[in-house]
């Protein structure tokens, strides 16, 4: 397991499955990731406070908006990341 943190972002935890660990056939070495309760409410509050009209306006006005499948969704997600960081 690697734990990293710096002053510019959230801490990250990387779990490495043991290469010698025996897993049942067909089981992918994936993990379920959950946000701690105190951060979950921060995320819920942030998302609940968003104005959908402003979100759409900001996403459609982005310079990196691409006319590809899921391009608008990608722009919305990039905008959310920027707003969450305080940009």
Residue pLDDT tens, the chain, 87 long: 667 777 777 777 766 666 655 656 665 656 666 656 666 778 888 889 999 999 999 999 999 999 999 999 999 999 999 998 888
Task: Tell me how many domains the chain contains.
Answer: 1
Q: Is residue 72 part of a domain?
A: yes
Supply the pLDDT for residue 5.
72
Task: Tell me the CB-side half-sphere exposure of residue 19, using CA atoms within 13 A.
Answer: 0
In a domain, 82, yes or no: yes
Tokens of 57: 């306006």
Give the HSE-up count for residue 79: Cα atoms under 13 Å, Cβ half-sphere: 22
pLDDT for res 42 = 80
Contact between 72 and 60 (Cβ < 8 Å): yes
pLDDT at 55: 94
pLDDT of residue 66: 93
- CA–CA gap between residue 29 and residue 85 (Å, rounded): 31
Q: Please give the DSSP secondary-structure letter assigned to residue 14.
A: E
> pTM of the prediction?
0.54
> Domain range holding 64?
51-87
Q: Is residue 33 part of a domain?
A: no
């Amino acid at each position: 397991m690697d734990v990293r943190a710096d002053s510019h972002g959230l801490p990250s935890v990387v779990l490495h499955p043991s290469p010698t660990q025996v897993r049942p056939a067909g089981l992918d070495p994936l993990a379920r990731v959950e946000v701690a309760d105190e951060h979950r409410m921060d995320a819920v509050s942030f998302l609940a406070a968003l104005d959908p009209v402003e979100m759409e306006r900001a996403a459609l006005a982005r310079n990196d908006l691409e006319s590809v499948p899921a391009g608008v969704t990608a722009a919305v997600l990039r905008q959310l990341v920027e707003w969450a960081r305080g940009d």
